[in-house]
Chain A
Amino acid sequence: MIDGEAEAIANAKQAAQASNGFINLVRRAIEQAWILPASATNQLRAVVRIQLLPTGELVSARIIESSGDGVFDRSVLQAVERAAPFRELRELPLAAQSQFREFNLDFNPKDVRR
């Protein structure tokens, strides 16, 4: 029983760590690709839903919560497109891959001066 639990822990932990690694990778790639509009303020926020193929290629990216600012919304979609594909998805344990076939990106700038 202890053995079974230890294995379950190891697997779950490995999956969680791999997932966290992938999340950080996506976050960094998108932050690098996101050219903040000069008019952006920290009041603006947009949520994008993205779908990936098992290969990490982008199937779709669409705004599910608009900032109300066309320039800002376009900049976040461009950021996702520029950062894609996310080929590292293939390196995740199978159990962890499925959760990243579809997920949300919450663009919520906190470091703008205005």
Chain B
Amino acid sequence: MKRVVSVMVGLWFALYISLASADLTIEITKGSDQAIPIAIVPFATPEQGTLSEDIAQIVSDDLARSGQFSPLSRSSLIAQPNRSEDVHYRDWRAVDSNYLVVGQVTPEGDGYRVQFELMDIYGERRMLGEVVNVGRGQLRSAAHYVSDKVFEAVTGTRGAFSTRIAYVTAQGAADNRRYALHVADADGHNSQQILSSQQPILSPAWAPDGNKLAYVSFESGRSAIYIQDLASSQRIQATSFEGINGAPAWSPDGRKLAMSLSKDGQPEIYVMDIASRSFRRLTDNSAIDTEPDWAPDGQSLVYTSDRSGGPQLYRYNLANGQAERITFTGSYNSRGRFSPDGKTLFLVHRDDQGFHVAKKDLGTDRLTILTDSQWDESPSVAPNGSMVIFATQQGNRGVLGVVSADGNASYRLPSAQGDVREPAWSPFMN
């Protein structure tokens, strides 16, 4: 008995000594996936009159939509500083905010001077301080710029709030249907119609420089692929073969378009050199091959084929001309779209609940469903890879939805009347 007691004293003592030595280390292996609390104080504005836009509100909305931030409500802002010199870090700790954005807007020339600063509350440090000058009608752009800078400084990922989206609307009864192609800010504001037709418009695709759109229009009575310059509205007809001219996709260098053409029988994948108008045929089989998308490195394409009996994704290697099937989960996987780093494919996956946006990790082969509505289609990825826009149904109307790449946050874009479909997220614009 005595020996046992001695051994136990020894053990406890050894443990005690090891804890008492200066190098006690506590391991932290878990974190929370809550959104980052951030306080965005209303920007000081000119004394006379009010501004047409509330910059702090736009920044707050942008950051909240990303799902990665949780902006404090205005009523919980305990002070209203507009410059870092007036910030008392202790105040903001009391409301558990990790970051603080302050700023002011002053008239300058024909427009405004927008000044903003970002503070790390716990580090008691100014992380950003910048001035942007914008024209009179560009306060929303200035706000999105602030959002981009704050997002990047905090998360390390470039913000995509200053990007744009293209989409197609359809309005009116069946015998008087009107289709239109629109371009809008990523938050749905500032929409502009760039084409209108009584025949369907499909598959808008942004050129990598963000200045042009390729799309399919049936305005001539049959399908044709057009390339339209957004600034000048000038356009060229790229293809108008007999049968299907569909699903244009720009190569990363902007010189080629991959597409689906049925001119030689079944819909097959072709690559068109835009300058020379020469074609390379990639697929040759009795199935439907469509919806190509280029890998970011330009070395391969993914496309949808039903050669196995149902739609599945295949990857075509441009160097050796070989295609391999890459989706095996479930009986329906289509419309693959690469993440900007090329490591993930976003796609449409059908399960017994309906059609969802899903992602496939190309390293681990894991397929993860991101959306839970029934009729989700046409995913298109933001240029920073953080969000995916898609078409879905609300009631019996087509609307646009956005989901974060991890599936944790989602929202619907406000829309006018009619059906909205075929969204395409632009590249970075600057």
Contact = CB atoms under 8 A, between A and B. Distances in A.
B30 A109 contact: yes
Interface string A1-38: 01001101100110110010001001100111111111
A34 B32 contact: yes
Interface in B29-46: 29-36
Nearest to A110: B29
B374 interface: no
A74 interface: yes
Interface of B: 2, 5-6, 8-9, 12-13, 15-16, 19-36, 68, 93, 96, 98, 120, 122-123, 154-157, 386, 406
30 contacts: A6-B5, A8-B9, A8-B13, A12-B15, A16-B12, A16-B19, A27-B28, A30-B28, A32-B32, A34-B31, A34-B32, A35-B32, A37-B155, A38-B406, A71-B154, A71-B156, A74-B120, A76-B28, A77-B123, A78-B122, A79-B31, A82-B98, A99-B21, A99-B24, A103-B23, A105-B25, A105-B27, A106-B28, A108-B27, A109-B30
| Interface residue SS majority, chain A | helix
B26 A27 contact: yes
A31 B32 contact: yes
B9 A111 contact: no
Interface of A: 2, 5-6, 8-9, 12-13, 15-16, 19, 23, 26-27, 30-40, 47, 69-71, 74-79, 81-82, 96, 98-100, 102-111, 113
B13 to A, nearest CB: 6
Contact of A19 (B13, B19, B27, B123): B19
A73 to B, nearest CB: 10
B20 A109 contact: no
B6 A82 contact: no
B299 to A, nearest CB: 23
A104 B23 contact: yes
B19 A109 contact: no
A4 B158 CA distance: 65
A11 to B, nearest CB: 9
A74 B123 contact: yes
Contacts of A32: 32
Contacts of B406: 38, 113
B20 A34 contact: no
B104 to A, nearest CB: 26
Nearest to B29: A110
